[in-house]
Amino acid sequence: MPEIRFHVSPDGQDHWPGTAKQPFATPKAAQEAVRAATTGMTGDIVVTFTAGVYHLEEPLTFDDTQADSGVNGFRVIYQARNFGRPDQEKVVLSGGREIGAWSAGDDGVWTAPIGELEPRRLTVDGVPAGRATNTAGLPGTVTKIETGYVTDSVAPQSWPDPSGLEFVYPGVYPWSEARLAVASISGDGSSTTITMAQPAFDNAKSLYDSKWYAAGGDGTWDGLASPSVLENNVAFLTEPGTFAVDRSVSGGHVLHYRPRPGEEIGNTSVIAPVLETLVSGRGVCDLVLRGFTFAEAGWTAPTRTGGYLHYHGNARYERGEFQKIDMGADVGYVHVPASPVQLPANVAFTSASRITLEGNHFTRLGAGGLLIEDGTDVVVRANVFDEISGSGIAVHDSTRVSVEDNLVHHIGTEYSGSSAVLVVESEEATVAHNEIRDVPHNGIVITGGQRTKGTQVLANLVERSMGKLMDGGGIYLSAPQGSSFASGAVVRGNVIRDVLTSYNFGLYTDYGAAWITLVGNIVQGADTPIVLQVGPPMENVVFAGNFWDALPDGYDTPPETVTVAGNTVLPKETFDEAVRADPAGADILARAGHRDLKR
């Protein structure tokens, strides 16, 4: 059956017919042509993009009510030219804007007017630039007060534009990192008072109210006692490749950038994200996006709301009540958001079915990379996710979503509690053959609930997880995963290496985990390979046929409803050699990870 083909090129014109010789110039024009052709489809519609950067003035939005879906059993395919071939062309969909009108100061710092923009990240000649940062924390002797902090140092009084300052609290809970804005700085010759933005600071005090009796003493824990990292101030602009935004003049913001060696005004491209959504879809079906680079999008909610009050994974507090979670008299309590808000993504599909995202690159993004919510029969395959402020891939409340053969690394660069792959209350999800490297917290997270059943986590390779925060693991599962072993989660054939921070687990079944079978996995270089005692306790969990380099705590006395059998402990010093010498171990190693990547 005949296909309908359209073409897009940076050298095209939107009034042309979209042929190979007379292509469209923009994705929007191609989309309008597709909408006019979908009703009578007798074959797939294929839209091919020639190499180049396509700057989106507004999000590219797919909507089933606007004829964006394939019909009659056929698909609408948007793809890079020569997709899947060695000569595949690089096609970038960018939500950024190039910054011009630079001038250089005597100190070597460049400045440029940026109007109302207040970017949290930049791209300079294709390379991410970081915010100006002070990792020494507040100077002097610091005391937390009702409205913020007092220090006996006068140095903060010299920091310009204090309202642009953001304080960072890694480990405010061991698994959380908070960000809070400063409102003002005042003082005299002997002390400085730092007033924090409200209501974010008061909300943070309520959210992070906790006791940890298991640590000894009276259980006092104050993660807000003093910030350990300070960001976005010209006073901290000492390292090449960093920037700060001066917002002291409303609507007349000024970007300050300290260039790297070799960068010159006029020969250096500086891109600031403008759009917060690059691509979105609602209700769309039979759609394929393949071979694109999704880049330069931002997310300014933490700036607008006065902070990022992170709790766990992608969940944060923005509004509503707090719920106290009592973990027992010998452990303590924490507070959580009663109505948590999830981190958004710069590419997101809601209520979509039979869609495929394949061979794309998600990079230089200020929120999460990709979100699938309430989706059905979705395939996320062979994509790369890197340099992302939040999570890589998030799947919420969906059915039959397959996340396979993706490479996810260096995500959570701004929101450290973010996971590489997150699956929330979804049915028959498959997370298989992905490679995950260098992430700040959990590698793969599967959270259970009433809808959850049939999750499979198969043959993934997770290396160097838990790079920043604590209390997590290479693969983390919480809550019931079904109602029986037949409908529960299966975690099989995964390789987890180097879980970095303290208090971590290679395979972490937490918070009432139930109906989970963990079989034939390899764990090397974790504090403890598995955990057997959690609160609420796990039930109906099986650990069998796994290889690890340490004997888990409580191995000989597991809970009554937890089975631990047939696992192999190999010496740390010779683990690599020993596991490869075992036929079952060698087979797990050979199968784990991206099936096309050469390691």
Find the distance separating the first CA and the last CA of the chain, reported in whole Å.
41
The tokens for 348 are 């997101």
Contact 457, 490 (CB under 8 A): yes
Is the predicted pLDDT of residue 1 greater than 60, yes or no? no
Q: Report whether pLDDT(481) > 60.
A: yes
Alpha-carbon Rg for the chain in angstroms = 25
Q: Are 353 and 285 in contact (CB under 8 A)?
A: yes
> Would you say residue 251 lies in a domain?
yes
Single-letter amino acid, residue 394: A
Name residue 422's beta-bridge partners: 394, 445
**CB 72 within 8 Å of CB 41:** yes
By C-alpha distance, which of 482, 411, 405, 416 is closest to 446? Answer: 482
Query: In 435-471, where do the E strands start and end?
Result: 435-437, 444-447, 456-458, 461-465
Give the span between the Cα atoms of 115 and 258, in whole angstroms. Answer: 20
**What total number of domains does the chain contain?**
2
Please tell me the distance from the alpha carbon of residue 350 to that of residue 396, in angstroms, as a whole number.
9
Tell me the three state secondary structure of residue 513.
Answer: strand
Dist. CA 357–CA 53, nearest whole Å: 19
Last residue of a domain, one of 220, 247, 273: 273
Tell whether 195 is covered by a domain.
Answer: no
The pLDDT value given to residue 332: 84
Dump pLDDT digits (tens) for 241-286. Answer: 999 999 999 999 999 999 999 999 999 999 999 999 999 999 999 9
pLDDT band, very low/low/confident/very high, at 214 (cuts 50, 70, 90): low
**Locate tokens 């039930």: which residue?**
539
Whether pLDDT at 598 is above 60: no
Quick one: DSSP state of residue 120?
A: S
Nearest residue to 405 (alpha-carbon basis) of 429, 426, 431: 431
The separation between CA 477 and the C-alpha centre of its own chain, rounded to angstroms, equals: 17
pLDDT at 56 over 90: yes
Q: Does residue 326 register a pLDDT over 90?
A: no
Q: Is residue 80 part of a domain?
A: no
DSSP letters for 52-72: EEEE-SS-EEEEGGGT-S--T
| Residue 67 within any structural domain of the chain | no
Is residue 422 pLDDT above 60, yes or no? yes
pLDDT for the residue numbered 216: 61
User: What's the average model confidence in pLDDT over 190-217?
Assistant: 90
| C-beta of residue 480 within 8 angstroms of C-beta of residue 452 | yes
DSSP 392-406: SEEEES-EEEEEES-
Nearest residue to 222 via CA among 287, 272, 280, 178: 178
pLDDT of residue 535: 82
Report the C-alpha gap between 419 and 390 in whole angstroms: 8
Do the Cβ atoms of 165 and 138 come closer than 8 Å?
A: no
As a three-state string, the secondary structure of 186-224 is: EECCCCEEEEECCCHHHHHHHHCCEEEHHHCCCCEECCC
Asked if 303 contacts 125 with a C-beta cutoff of 8 angstroms, the reply is no
Task: Report if residue 595 sits inside a domain.
Answer: yes
Mean pLDDT of all residues belonging to the chain: 96
Q: What is the pTM of this model?
A: 0.97
Domain assignment present for residue 121? The answer is yes
| pLDDT at residue 217 in the model | 63
Q: What six digits make up the tokens of 204?
A: 């943070």
Domain range for residue 122? 96-132+237-273
Lowest mean pLDDT among 38-47, 450-459, 588-597: 588-597
**Max Cα distance, the chain (Å):** 82
Write down the pLDDT at residue 497: 98
Q: Region 477-491: what's the mean pLDDT?
A: 97
Please compute the mean of the pLDDT values over residues 151-164 and round it to a whole number.
96
Q: Does 280 reside within a domain? A: no
In 3-state terms, what secondary structure has residue 129?
strand
**How do strand 279-282 and strand 177-187 relate by DSSP bridges?**
unpaired
In-domain check, residue 77: no
Give pLDDT, residue 597.
62
> What is the full DSSP assignment across 333-382?
EEEEESS-EE--EEEEEES-EEEEEES-EEEEESSEEEEEES-EEEEEES
Distance CA 266, CA 584 (A): 58
**Average pLDDT for 435-440:** 98
Domain boundary among 273, 299, 322: 273
Q: Which of 108, 156, 109, 158 is nearest to 136 (CA)?
A: 156
